Structure 1
Amino acid sequence: MQVTSVGHAGFRIETAAGSILCDPWVNPAYFASWFPFPDNSTLDWDALGDCDYLYISHLHHDHYDPRHLAAHVNKDAVVLLPDYPVPDLRRALEDLGFHQFYETTDSVRHTVHGPKGDLDVMIIALRAPADGPIGDSGLVVSDGVTTVFNMNDSRPIDLDVLGAFGGIDVHLVQYSGAIWYPMVYDMPDRAKEAFGTQKRQRQMDRARQYIAHVDATWVVPSAGPPCFLDPELRHLNDDHGDPANIFPDEVVFLDQMRRNGHDGGLLMIPGSTARFTGTQLDSLTHPLSDEDVEAIFTTGKADYIAAYAERMAPVLAAEKAAWAPAAGPAMLEPLRALFEPIMARSNEICDGIGYPVELVLDGPGHTETVVLDFPKRIVREPIAGEKFRYGFGIPPELVRTVLRDDEPDWVNTIFLSTRFRAWRVGGYNEYLYTFFKCLTEDRIVYAEGWFGESHDDSATITVGDYQIQRRCPHMKADLAKVGVVEGKILTCNQHGWEWDLDTGRCLTTKGHELRCEKL
């Protein structure tokens, strides 16, 4: 089996039964904030796109690049489709001209009968509203000799299903940040540094836990970090020795792996190709010398990013020119038309948010504050002297653009761009960000059902001096595998949420109490 990196979470997997192109991403994403790192724009994309199968893990735009798919990928490729509860991914690919779909069943091993032979695959579909924009997934591929698990940036809850393949030889896994926290929050610099340092380490700890559970011979760090080329955002790159930067690169994580006893990590850049026969690595080749590859991540990283930014300056300028203008009419009525029908369908989510939320739209030629009053299910003007528990400061041109484009997911556009400010009193509110992901009827109905559904938490495990429910109250991860106890604090490393074991209170957000008892 041959595995070629095509950048970020993208790979082309070659087998005797056909080639699979996974998550090709080239064009800048999230209001041109994110670019692939290292640069993959000069690869032979027409050749890479001449594939037998296409796998798009989910609709985040660093995995789903519609312009690139339309221009460079064979429309007769068979799409390996995750088993999602809403049809958004299939519809998006059909709109681009893809017409052959192999519909998988979640976490079931399938044999795909193609003209070149049989291919064994499994797609582990994550279906919670918090997973990507309504879904994320990982792909397992076996040619009968070598088995690859492309986990990209999914976070599977149950890895026991991998037993259907008898063992994993190659594990492609995310380890770096893909979020806006804590950088955009209004908080003291010392607090921001502490939270950033904590997040940087926790996301790598989580990846190492997955690596330990999958127990593959070879591990390829992937699906991050992005590269920030806009001068306004360049400080977000991890190229200036900041221990609080949440975007460590592959070399940083490979060093963590080695220091923790795992020597099977492989560094791959766009164009790198690895050949495997079962657990054996037959070869690993790069498009550059080993010294030049290393320099991209170490001594020459800042210079590499500066040169990359210069090359991509026209691309960045063209992206910005396509945004709606900041100045224009008031946005209260368009936002009311968008949000109020969604609020009317989302009692669980509105009650979970529980407070009015402030949107400050302030930019060149336009200043306006709009209130999303979730308890009353209305969008309104602010009341004099009103205080808010949650708030966002968003440039008006970004809001006008998502309104113009009927964008169903502000998380996958505005928030991941990091081109905004946020403030809050208290912890993270999952319901609030879920609302902003679900701005269509199909999505909000599904999310409502998810939150309204009762889950079995009757299984109990013993951790130190406590008995606790086995499944995490957040996303039902197995705490026997991903729970870590320090003193009286339980951390679920699936998403980094914390609980006080004396009270069961969630320390990360309101609600989500843990059933626990001191022995």
Structure 2
Amino acid sequence: MPLTAARKSSIDYIGHAGFVVRHDEFRLLIDPWFHPAFLESWFPFPDNGHLLERVAAGSYDALYVSHTHTDHFDRALLRMLPRSLPVLCAAFRSRDLLREMRGLGFSDITVLGHGESVPLRPGLQATMLLDTSHKEDSALLVELDGFRFLDLNDCHPKLTELPRDVDLLAAQFSGAMWYPNCYSYPLPVMREKVAQVRSGLLDTLMRTVAATDARAYVPCAGPPVFLDPALRVHNDREQTIFPHWADVAPSFVEAAPQVKIVDVQPGDRIDIVGGKPVTAAAPAPAPTDVAGYARRRQAQWGAHEQRPDTPVSTAELDAYFSRLIRRNRPLLADYQRDLTILSGTRRWTVMIRPVPPQPAVVAASPPALPPDAVPPGGATAGGTTASDGTAGGSAVAAGPPGSYELHVPPRVLRAIVDGEATWEEALLSMRIGLRRDPDLFDVTLMGLLRYGDTPVVTWQLRQDSSVSDETITRDGLRIQRYCPHAGEDLTDADIVDGVLECPRHHWAWDLTTGRCVRGGTWPLSVSPTE
């Protein structure tokens, strides 16, 4: 090809956080998701099933999967692809993604750390970005003859580490966690918490747009749709953290009128013309016929009811938690808490200590549930676990007082104990109900459950909470520079009425005491400059 010849570039949207980036004859497949995720609970929205055969049979030159969450890591789809396909893989501490890819038979794998780049073709380069906290998520900057496409999906690198001068940003606008909608809250409290989370999501998105100087934005990576009748309450756009783009767009336009919105539906193509993203025509509104979608996918969401529901025994649960505790002793140093698990007609107390007691799990008779309790096997109107951004940490030095309950359906608990699902997958399924008193997110407890299968991650979680020697000076105070929750730089964080708010996940601290007043219980190191 002569150096003066113009190369054609385009980006096909295949649903959720999935794209096919085209540069002349080169094809990069990104996060293809078609099959149900998280114990058959999440489905892509809108329905992209009409693209499955085309995507599975497509010819590609490289594959990038951002992380192991199954709304990005679709094993069924990945098994349909040639194992000779080159893979771009993030260098996560746990190496879980690398192992998963190798387990599927992919061998041509390029592992990239945070900020590392690789040329794919003349005029085409990819740069890996990582969430450098304990969370294992990644994003990709793709440069096509100078056009910069930043695919953040649902990854949140530090705002100060995001690339600038971005031509097209693809990033999450909807929630993707179980807080607050799986927790037991009175309806007025639930509405308030949902509003707070949605406001925080928009604030984070707008800060991301500003940090990247994004000229155009593609709404993506949410919301999912819940087709199982037991979960359809979570499709409520008003009462949950899963808004549709139409619900968010007016606020986005008001906050960033200079940013072009590239609103596409699965199957649409974005052409790069003159360094700008151009779509052929305005897309049709997203279809909302959930009932029809559910009929088409009944065999898939109905597969959850075919999972084994043999009750878990006390001995099985004790063996499970004893092993989990032993593998995560650094996280649990000086920590203790009793966790209640209810499943079917069974109730257990799990005694979490640095060294597991013998036994670690004790069975008890379940009490009668009060009328507003989260029923075993599902949530009431409202709830998703406290997200890494909106509910906060636990004290590492001592277990917080009060109660923490998990209402886990027998099928889900069986899948966890048998190793068929992780707690993270089970929580994201929205099939677990939660109750806590006081209403504080215990990072240590939830870190143990969510990441305990990969102790290198829980070790990093504890490191993230450590007080850094590096400080900033603001308002006559010497303040810890990096957020103890996920390491965000607090140099330019907002301070209002003596309260500092992290711009990334919106934890907040009273600067007179360093006490965390929103998010959790981890304090911030604060001292007078003199």
TM > 0.5: yes
DSSP 3-state at the match of 1:102: strand
Residues 380-399 of structure 1 show CA distances to partners (whole Å, capped at 9, x for unaligned) of 21579999521101011111
The corresponding residue for 2:321 is: 339
Residues 112-151 of structure 1 show CA distances to partners (whole Å, capped at 9, x for unaligned) of 4x5xx4631111122433x2xxx10110011223111000
Contact 2:123 / 2:146 at 8 angstroms: preserved in 1?
no
Kindly state the Cα deviation for residue 44 of structure 1 after the two structures are TM-superposed. 4.7
Equivalent residue in structure 2 for 1:294, among 264, 285, 291: 285
The corresponding residue for 1:369 is: 348
1:250 maps onto 2:245 in alignment: yes
Contact 1:121 / 1:142 at 8 angstroms: preserved in 2?
yes
Equivalent residue in structure 2 for 1:65, among 74, 77, 93: 74
TM-score, normalisation: structure 2: 0.84
The corresponding residue for 1:468 is: 479
Give, as a single letter, the amino acid of the residue that structure 1 aligns with 2:353: F
Residues 159-207 of structure 1 show CA distances to partners (whole Å, capped at 9, x for unaligned) of 44625xxx21111011110111111112222111111111111111111
1:495 maps onto 2:476 in alignment: no
Kindly state the Cα deviation for residue 235 of structure 1 after the two structures are TM-superposed. 1.9
Distance across 1 between alignment mates of 2:330 and 2:242: 34
Distance 1:372 1:11, change over 3 A: farther
DSSP 3-state at the match of 1:205: helix
Residue pairs, 1:128-147, within 5 angstroms: 128-129=133-134, 131=135, 135-147=136-148
Kindly state the Cα deviation for residue 295 of structure 1 after the two structures are TM-superposed. 5.7
Residue pairs, 1:248-287, within 5 angstroms: 248-262=243-257, 263-277=259-273, 279-281=275-277, 283-285=278-280
Equivalent residue in structure 1 for 2:90, among 67, 70, 82: 82
Residue pairs, 1:302-313, within 5 angstroms: 304-313=289-298
TM-score, normalisation: structure 1: 0.86
DSSP 3-state at the match of 2:109: strand
Residues 437-491 of structure 1 show CA distances to partners (whole Å, capped at 9, x for unaligned) of 2343xx21442255147563423042x675533321211112234x333323222
Residue pairs, 1:17-416, within 5 angstroms: 18-47=26-55, 49-71=58-80, 73-112=81-120, 117=122, 119-129=124-134, 131=135, 135-160=136-161, 162=163, 167-239=165-237, 242=238, 244-262=239-257, 263-277=259-273, 279-281=275-277, 283-285=278-280, 290=283, 293-294=284-285, 296=287, 301=288, 304-321=289-306, 323-325=307-309, 327-328=310-311, 330-351=312-333, 354-362=336-344, 366-374=345-353, 376-378=355-357, 379-382=360-363, 389-407=403-421, 409-411=422-424, 413-416=425-428
Contact 1:359 / 1:370 at 8 angstroms: preserved in 2?
yes
The corresponding residue for 2:372 is: none
Higher mean C-alpha displacement, 193-202 vs 100-109: 100-109
Distance across 2 between alignment mates of 1:449 and 1:316: 35
Distance across 2 between alignment mates of 1:391 and 1:469: 33
Distance across 2 between alignment mates of 1:347 and 1:501: 32
DSSP 3-state at the match of 2:98: helix
Distance 1:43 1:452, change over 3 A: closer
Residues 340-363 of structure 1 show CA distances to partners (whole Å, capped at 9, x for unaligned) of 12312323422475311111112x
The corresponding residue for 1:437 is: 450
Aligned length: 482
Distance 1:57 1:385, change over 3 A: closer
Higher mean C-alpha displacement, 259-268 vs 136-145: 259-268
Residues 11-42 of structure 1 show CA distances to partners (whole Å, capped at 9, x for unaligned) of 11111362111111111111222111000111
The corresponding residue for 2:378 is: none
Residues 275-313 of structure 1 show CA distances to partners (whole Å, capped at 9, x for unaligned) of 1146423x3136xx74xx2263xxxx3xx2222122222
DSSP 3-state at the match of 2:151: strand
Higher mean C-alpha displacement, 339-348 vs 449-458: 449-458
The corresponding residue for 2:516 is: 506
Give, as a single letter, the amino acid of the residue that structure 1 aligns with 2:270: A
Equivalent residue in structure 1 for 2:429, among 406, 409, 417: 417
Kindly state the Cα deviation for residue 92 of structure 1 after the two structures are TM-superposed. 0.7
Kindly state the Cα deviation for residue 516 of structure 1 after the two structures are TM-superposed. 5.2
In structure 2, stretches of 5+ residues that fail to align are 1-8, 368-400
Equivalent residue in structure 1 for 2:462, among 444, 451, 472: 451
Distance across 1 between alignment mates of 2:524 and 2:66: 31
